[in-house]
Structure 1
Amino acid sequence: MDTIQDSAQKFLDEMNRVGYSIKSKNIASAALSRLIHYHLENKCTQLNSTLTDAYTNGLQDRLNGDAMGQYFAREHLWFIRKYLEYCKSGVINADRFTLPKLPFPESFVRVINSYTEDVSKNEQQRKSRAWAPKRYAYWLSNHGIASFSDAKVTDLRQFILEDSKNLKSKTIPNFRSELRRFHIWLYENNYTKSTFEEFFDFKVAIENKIHPAALPDDIAAVIRQINLNTAIGKRDYAAIMLGVVLGLRISDIKKLQLTDIDWRRGEIRIAQHKTGKPLALPLTTDVGEALKDYIINGRPKFDDPHVFLSHQAPIRPIKAGSSFGSAYTKYMKSAGINGKGGFYQLRRAVGKNLVVAGVPVTTVSQVLGHTDISNTKQYIALDTRNLKVCALDFDGIRPRRWSE
């Protein structure tokens, strides 16, 4: 009987065969990864109706929130339902998922439609240009403001402050840019008396979350849980070592091919999945030994260029990054490590260790394959030891009205 990971992968493969878009497949993959993780947390490796009902009921509860919060739950519930239907029938029905429209007055709809028609060259641009104005219109209508002309700069500021909490930090600059473009159009077409240019010219400090790095003791405890006498244990160990030592992303690990490993020169050369940029890293002894042991003694004898393969029929390359993430989480739990954590913290540990060792940020950026050095600077915040050295000494500084 298939494991839940295998049945989920078959469903994703079938989605690909029948022509679903990359976006739909990514959403389905994310939804099923969370469902798989929930099963594994409850020590179940096969699809279980009781666990599935409990998980989907939790998603259903999210539908009682505001309309923006419902998007995640609605699309995940839809794809989980399609997956369950596929498990029973072996086919995917032809209907497609569409998100519900945000509710706001028709007066907003007419203006946004005019805007998108005016500034867009095709249907894709019309959708992308409408994204920020629609969120703005929804917020205004929920705050008793019936038209864009009635909105004040204080309303715009409050909207951005509130809505930015629901966006990734990298998305916020683009979000502000789209709103700026929209307000210039509103002014030029006599919908507002101002472009609010003074507001958009003001640089807003965006809070970037500093995600923790895996602790050395935790990593060691996780590795001790891996059974290196099994083929899957050898595979998991090799994959985790690529994250622990080289800081590779899961997306690059699962796509790693045999030809990417230059054993003579002692290098791993890849084109990064996230950025498309080439990256060359040293094949350290520990990583090389882990890969060699898996390839020679654990990897299925199967004609495929990918290093990491599934170990249950049908044999195929690992497509879901959640396979490695779930494995790492499983070993964490076996080691008695509680709290938030995941495979990506291994990459953060590599970045932190390099910064703590005094490696220049530019070099760390190259090792991690960052295209923007600002992505690397966050690792400085993890270097608490040296940050303490930089702290301001308040000795001799007395607050106003200080009394001994």
Structure 2
Amino acid sequence: MINLPSHFGTEVVMLEYYYVKPATVDRILANVAGAYIENYVSWLRVQGYADRNVFRRVPILCQFGEFASARGATDGQTALEHIEAFAQHWLSIHGKSCNSDVARAKVAYDARNPVRQMLELALYGSVGPHRQRKPFPFESEAPGFASYLRDERGLKVDTIGRYAFYLKGLSAFLDGIGATSLASVSPPLLATFLVERCAVLARTTRRDLCGTLRVFLRYCHRERIVERDLSAAVEVPRVHRLANLPRAITWDEVRDMLGCVDRRCALGRRDYAMLLLLVTYGLRGNEVAQLTLEDIDWQHERLNIPQRKAGHWSAYPLAGIVGEAIIDYLRNARPQTADRHVFFRSMAPWRPITSAAVSSAAVRYLKRAGVRVHRAGAHTLRHTCVQHLVDAQLSLKTIGDYVGHRSAQSTKIYTRIDLAALREVAMGNGEAL
């Protein structure tokens, strides 16, 4: 495994940085995976991994090199086939004292993960979960469906990903009952799948699942993949717009939540800036995650959100408290990287934060502040921003434009409730009202 791809990095942190004895360095480089290991160690250094991680991972990688070579691996590509076998081999040796399945799984993961990262770096030039494109569900039978969603329906990548998620469930169901093709799909079979699947889903998720199936089945009939149009056999459940109350909290609860953030550490500085963006501008979690340095116009004190859900962009005046929080993060907490995203993971490897991480941060501080809210997350703060604007008696058009609503109907729900009155009912016996 010593033949390196042409894109392999040339600027590396030599192993001498970590190992004082030349004999140790020579022994690592003499390993069949020595060149891979040296490049991987350089990557770990650049990504901000602690030295202890390097010392723990290098022996594992050396053993994997010998393990894979003994089983016929000649390069990184063929070595991929031996990752799982090595993880189980490592577990058989180092997992004897484990008392639970969770502990054993961690031992195997600690062996599997550095090997996978090293080989991905060697083969693809980077490390991440998307190195190899996963086939779209039913791609062999309906190869043009993903293109249809993108080109004809104009759906965004995230929306197409949700289609793939729902169709993956249908594919697994068909495999489980032995159905070999889409031609075997029938109304009773679809009904069985929906009853089984929808039992654990929320109302809106059920609606989205059924909508996905209808679009897919209609496409299959149009392309003559199936003889009958089975879309009518899938009834989309009705979800009323006003069935749920907005997940807003009071402004005092917002202050309590922000007060729980420890801004002395890097994680706190990052989270404080993200929370302020969510509650000040009513941004969505993905809009915060996708924010780049170019989106902040310091000269004109303006914040730009270029790609919103409705397909438009918004520009906001940069509030002083928000700007100060972002500057504090950029100067004292953001990792040194060429990537232009604003917010990054607080632990190695340094990668841009995801929308799920933004929402998790909101959940963490809401719980820490003792704020109880149904389905806490980033949208809780977005709802709070909208409700605050409604309480200030701004027009629905102004509020909708401010938070990027697609239509005024999305804003009207906030005018149907009086949160203060509802809280009075909850706190007392309600007789006065």
TM-score, normalised to structure 1, is: 0.52
Residues 249 and 185 (structure 1 numbering): CA distance in 2 closer, same or farther, change over 3 Å? Answer: closer
Alignment pair present for 1:328 and 2:362 = yes
Aligned twin of 2:265: 230
Aligned twin of 1:262: 297
Query: Which moves more between the two structures, 168-177 or 347-356?
Result: 168-177
Residues 329 and 133 (structure 1 numbering): CA distance in 2 closer, same or farther, change over 3 Å? Answer: closer
AA at the equivalent of 2:359? G
Alignment pair present for 1:85 and 2:85 = no
After superposition, the C-alpha distances for 1:337-364 in whole angstroms (9 at most, x for unaligned) are: 4564223211111122223333333332
Alignment of 1:182-221 (within 5 A): 205-208=238-241, 210=244, 211-221=246-256
- Aligned residues of 1:244 and 1:347 also touching (Cα < 8 A): yes
The alpha carbon displacement at 1:157 in A equals: 9.4
The alpha carbon displacement at 1:252 in A equals: 2.0
SS at match of 1:327: helix
Pick from 53, 59, 75 the counterpart of residue 102 of structure 2: 53
- Aligned residues of 2:257 and 2:369 also touching (Cα < 8 A): yes
After superposition, the C-alpha distances for 1:39-93 in whole angstroms (9 at most, x for unaligned) are: xxxxxxxxxx989829x9xxxxxxxxxxxxxxxxxxxxxxxx8787315764579
- Matched residue pairs, number? 298
Percent identity for Structure 1 against Structure 2: 24
SS at match of 2:283: coil
The alpha carbon displacement at 1:310 in A equals: 4.2
AA at the equivalent of 2:112? E
Aligned twin of 2:352: 318
Pick from 362, 368, 371 the counterpart of residue 403 of structure 2: 368
- The structure with the largest alpha-carbon Rg is 2
The alpha carbon displacement at 1:269 in A equals: 0.8
CA distance in 2, matches of 1:286, 1:382: 30
The alpha carbon displacement at 1:156 in A equals: 9.1
The alpha carbon displacement at 1:377 in A equals: 4.0
Residues 355 and 88 (structure 1 numbering): CA distance in 2 closer, same or farther, change over 3 Å? Answer: same
CA distance in 2, matches of 1:277, 1:328: 25
The alpha carbon displacement at 1:243 in A equals: 0.6
Aligned twin of 1:242: 277
CA distance in 2, matches of 1:203, 1:297: 50
Alignment pair present for 1:356 and 2:383 = no
Specify every segment of 5 or more residues in structure 1 that has no aligned partner in the other structure, as ranges. 8-17, 20-48, 57-80, 102-111, 142-146, 389-404
AA at the equivalent of 1:218? E
Residues 284 and 337 (structure 1 numbering): CA distance in 2 closer, same or farther, change over 3 Å? Answer: same
Aligned twin of 2:379: 344
CA distance in 1, matches of 2:134, 2:339: 37
Aligned twin of 1:391: none
CA distance in 2, matches of 1:52, 1:274: 42
CA distance in 2, matches of 1:375, 1:302: 39
CA distance in 1, matches of 2:352, 2:99: 27
CA distance in 1, matches of 2:274, 2:281: 10
- Aligned residues of 1:231 and 1:297 also touching (Cα < 8 A): yes
Specify every segment of 5 or more residues in structure 2 that has no aligned partner in the other structure, as ranges. 1-43, 50-75, 78-97, 124-130, 150-162, 178-182, 424-433
Alignment of 1:28-107 (within 5 A): 53=102, 85-87=112-114, 90=117
Aligned Cα root-mean-square deviation (Å): 5.6
CA distance in 2, matches of 1:82, 1:273: 38
